[in-house]
Amino acid sequence: MTATEATSLFPPAATTLTGGCLCSAIRYEIRTPEAASRPLVPDALPTPSLPCRYTGSSGGGDTIDTRDSQLGRDQTRTLPTTYPIIELDHCGDCRRACGSLAQCWMVVPLSWATFMLVRRWTHGIPWGKSLSDLETSMVELRTRDVLLGLRKWMESTYAMHYSSDGASHRTFCGKCGTGLSFFYRPPNPAKARGNDAERYRDTYDDDDEEVFDIAIGTLDHDSLNLIGGMGESAAEGIGIQRHSHWSSEKSVEWIKEGLYRGWPRVRHPGGLPVAVVEEDKVLVNRE
């Protein structure tokens, strides 16, 4: 099923997003079709056309809470919820896997993605090849093979795979450690037995009916800018739409409160707390 209207919070034109791990041993492309061709998210509630943002006690009046304002009441139009979805996720597993308070995912169909991986040479350098030649030699793989950790590619590239329960699959780089994706693929009862992920690998064949999560922090800078801006028009960017696992048993109240209210309040221009940014000006301690 596809959206019948060419409207979306995501840029409406066909778009190519690029990204990869820290060391570039794993690269990917996400090709989103034009808005009218993007599939609807099954059973999803409509998406508000104007995001709700909370102005905390230190706010400068540049954000609004649409629940309590006249502007919010005037902007209650909703849009069909289509892929891609961008969401914060602080379920216990994702929080621990990424080592942060919350993971941020972009959910897309498998058919939109292409992975390119550097070959891992573990048996010496072939005749006539240099190490630099091999390190820039990349192979394009089927998305499902990367997400499910097909053994021959895990052994010959830097893509690594972890499954905690045989149905939840995570991909990360074995060279730099970057976590890249999450793919939930429940076993087919007719073919799967027990918790052995190997039995699930050849069960499904239709990429269009499956989606996966890509860690949005692994997108290239230009791609992040493309999807992240939220200007006067919804088509200027999507930003973070949703926060999943809000009510799960392992959700953490102070994380939810902080994310909702928009902390941290102290901003530093660099990696050291020697200066702060206030109203877009950098203030430095001169003492």
Assess if residue 266 is contained within a domain. no
- Report the CATH number that the domain containing residue 178 is assigned in CATH: 2.170.150.70
Residue 215, pLDDT score: 97
Least confident of 146-150, 227-231, 261-265: 227-231
Assess if residue 1 is contained within a domain. no
Assess if residue 280 is contained within a domain. no
Residue 229, pLDDT score: 52
Residue 32, pLDDT score: 93
How many angstroms separate the CA atoms of 244 and 193, rounded? Answer: 30
The residue among 199 and 114 whose pLDDT is bigger is: 114
Assess if residue 64 is contained within a domain. no
Please say if the pLDDT value at position 180 is more than 80.
yes
Assess if residue 179 is contained within a domain. yes
Q: What is the pLDDT of residues 124-177, one digit of tens each?
A: 555 666 555 555 678 899 999 999 998 888 888 999 999 988 889 999 999 999
Overall number of domains in the chain:
1
Assess if residue 200 is contained within a domain. yes
Assess if residue 98 is contained within a domain. yes
Question: Beta 179-184 vs 168-173: how paired, if at all?
Answer: antiparallel
Q: What is the pLDDT of residues 47-81, one digit of tens each?
A: 776 544 433 333 333 333 434 333 334 445 677 88
Residue pair 228/238 in contact (Cβ under 8 Å)? The answer is yes
Mean pLDDT (the chain) is 74
Residue 114, pLDDT score: 95
pTM for the whole structure = 0.75
Residue 238, pLDDT score: 60
How many angstroms separate the CA atoms of 109 and 262, rounded? Answer: 30
Assess if residue 287 is contained within a domain. no
Range of the domain at 233: 15-45+81-251
For the chain, give the percent of residues with pLDDT over 90.
Answer: 31
How many angstroms separate the CA atoms of 246 and 256, rounded? Answer: 7
